[in-house]
Structure 1
Amino acid sequence: SPSRQYTSRATGDLPKGAHVREQEVPREYRSRARKYDREGDPNLTENQRGPLERTLKDHGDAIGLCFGFYAEASPNVHKLVGVLADKWLEQESAGSFDFSGNHDQ
């Protein structure tokens, strides 16, 4: 049977698995950080954040970069590729680079 990530609702388009998975990543990272913080300090109250959860929040939460079974990429992957392409073009205008980003001599 198909996984729930590929199961459509009664109406609307079938969500792509990579997109569905991408949306789950931040919640899972927060949940794990919270779990490990509580294992490390059982005295944390429900409303307190431990060091892992605080650090994760301070850095803007986890970002899902996901690929699906049918070679689809999540929206954040497409955004990252766009940013990298823009930066590559900026670097190219400053001079010649090899694929590792080093200046050619």
Structure 2
Amino acid sequence: MSQDWPAVGAAIRARLDDRGMTMTELATRSGVSLTTVRELVHVLNERRRQPRTLASLSSALDWPADHLGAVLRGRSTDDIPTDDLAAIRRDLRDLRHRVEVLERENGTPS
């Protein structure tokens, strides 16, 4: 079976940019070593990885656990269902918090 490691690296890079996340943050959230994250992002080592490594990274990037595995196997990301509801909820909570802080600083009632 063909494995498309450059597609995995590109998917991770794009998601990091989209989320405003660093590789260090991804490593921390996923429990995957920073060295492994760098190898995947920059396609430095195309060795076989444990399925749980890609699953952990996928989950940390707010994708379904099998997302990066599917990308690796050449499956179009358009065919992969993603549930961004959790990410939207986090963003909404963050925005609410920011508005509350601004209102307190400006003396505006909530």
TM-score (norm 1): 0.28
Richer in helix (by share): 2
What TM-score do the two structures reach when normalised by structure 2? 0.27
